[in-house]
Amino acid sequence: MTNQNKYILALDQGTTSSRAIVFNRQGHIMAVAQREFEQHFPQSGWVEHDAEEIWSTQSGVAQEAITRAGLRASNIAAIGITNQRETTLVWDRGTGQPIHNAIVWQDRRTAELCDRLRAEGKDELIREKTGLLLDAYFSGTKVKWILDHVPGARQAAEAGELAFGTVDSWLVYNLTGGQLHITDASNASRTLLYNIHTGDWDDELLALLDVPRSMLPEVRSSSEVYGETAEGLFGSRIPIAGIAGDQQAATFGQACLERGMAKNTYGTGCFMLMNTEQEAVPSQNQLLTTVGWQLGGERTYALEGSVFIGGAVVQWLRDGLGIIRSSEEVERLAARVPDTGGAYLVPAFTGLGAPYWDPYARGTLVGLTRSTSAAHIARAALEAVAFQSAELLQAMQSDSGLELKELRVDGGASRNNLMMQFQADLLGVPVVRPKVTETTALGAAYLAGLAVHYWDSTDAIEQGWAVDQTFEPQMSADERDSRMAEWRRAVERSRGWIQTEG
């Protein structure tokens, strides 16, 4: 059957909502459907999702998006999946029922286990094999927690009766009526159980975290036809042909397909990834080394860094300080002044991420004078996001020895022109915003479309990537160096502010 009059369906399963987007051959959006779902907080620092609700909302919006586009399932050439990463599910292979709520990536219940493993000197082993820091963020310790705390779970797992998966695995399992238990290399690389150099689950890591190999999904490429949706689910069977974790999918959707290309997603936090092609670059600056995607047998690696407080600093201006009524007002307020008047805001509300990793840092506002106004503070808040991102990029360039030619940007805050211009000024390279900023879903669509020859090659993806606006740097090198030095002085004032956490 020809793909000529067909479309690609991307399932974008996020932390707070499930979305589905139908794309055409030009990478344009034909229809979107979205549903939020409940967040569960059983204890302080614990975050869970109902796995059945993840599936029901995601399958619901998939059908809704197809209908909104005026299509039928027979018009869909393939499904691509992208997902919140590290969130951990365990289910019964016989019944398909989860044995516990999904433990979300934000959940901190296994922090003590990580501390214990660190005290035993296991962090370097984990770092070398997985490219990850030993942290409760990742899936491996969450699986161990479920096996240790759900009655009968460990015995069932050892008898081969349980399946573990990240959200992508859970969706594919349900989409195929329980026929497939798989993941892709990008999601596997976020589990603490996968060796990014051998491309397989690692027996030494499985023994360390006491996770039976029989629970694990088969690791597949990020772009291949894995199977089809179950009979009767959508009316016609649709090939499932692409999987990638959300930040890796966004990097692919931004067409950062060559070594040294990088993207930054400006959301609540910021996620920056740089393509290092076939080299898994070890970081000296506490960045993560991760699998970007796998096409055929070839893994593409990336360096990843995150800013904890990105767009969230604007929410704080709105809800905490009350100097704006809506997030959209911040750019207008900040534009009333030509600069911050010497003020610097370090939004270390929950500590500092890379390259500092200081959980004892706290938010700091310095350089205030009698003339400091709400507009100066708003501008300092926007500049803080750009300063933090610039430090991440400098760390990436230092680790990789690669020099950035441009930074591709997406996410809600990338619509803020003032911030994007300042980001370009700080980096000294152009900042480029694409026309389609739904790059996460678009990346999943591209991966699926390549597998079914909807797009012939990655060349088609690069040609389809279109610029909305380019922000050229206007700041002199001397001023840039001076501003970065002042920012670092402000950061030093915020560091180690509290003596103990809490």
What are the binding residues for ATP? 15-17, 268, 311, 315, 412
Distance CA 494, CA 486 (A): 13
pLDDT in tens, 200-226: 999 999 999 999 999 999 999 999 999
Determine contact, residues 376/343, Cβ cutoff 8 Å.
yes
Q: Please say whether the beta carbons of 257 and 295 come within 8 A.
A: no
Band (pLDDT 50/70/90 cuts) for residue 497 is: confident
| Residue 104, phi then psi, degrees to nearest 5 | -80, 155
Residue 182 has pLDDT above 60, yes or no: yes
Cβ neighbours of residue 212 closer than 8 Å, sequence gap 6 or more: 157, 158, 160, 206
* Binding-site annotation: residue ranges for ADP: 15, 19, 268, 311, 412, 416
Give pLDDT tens digits for 67-92. Answer: 999 999 999 999 999 999 999 999 99
Read off the pLDDT of residues 23-76 as tens digits, 9 standing for 90 and up: 999 888 999 999 988 888 888 778 899 999 999 999 999 999 999 999 999 999
- For residue 501, the model assigns a pLDDT of 47
Q: For residue range 234-251, what is the model confidence (pLDDT) as tens digits?
A: 989 999 999 999 999 999
pLDDT at residue 1, as a whole number: 43
Q: Which residue intervals of 300-429 are DSSP H helices? A: 312-316, 329-334, 374-400, 417-427
User: Average pLDDT, whole number, for the chain?
Assistant: 92
CB 404 within 8 A of CB 262: yes
Q: What is the pLDDT of residue 502?
A: 44
Q: Average pLDDT of 460-469?
A: 88
Q: Domains, the chain, ranges and CATH?
A: 7-220 (3.30.420.40), 255-501 (3.30.420.40)
Q: For the chain, how big is the Rg over CA atoms in Å? A: 22
pLDDT for the residue 108: 82
% the chain with pLDDT above 70: 98
What is the side-by-side strand order in the sheet with 407-410? 288-295, 298-307, 270-277, 262-266, 407-410, 431-434, 467-471
Residue 2: pLDDT over 70: no
> Which pair of structure tokens corresponds to residue 67?
């209908």
At position 415, the amino acid (one-letter code) is R
Summarize pLDDT for 384-422 with one digit per residue, the tens: 999 999 999 989 999 999 888 999 999 888 889 999 999
Output the known binding site: 15-17, 19, 85-86, 137, 246-247, 268, 311, 315, 412, 416
Which residues line the annotated binding site for sn-glycerol 3-phosphate? 15, 85-86, 137, 246
**Annotation: binding site for glycerol:** 85-86, 137, 246-247
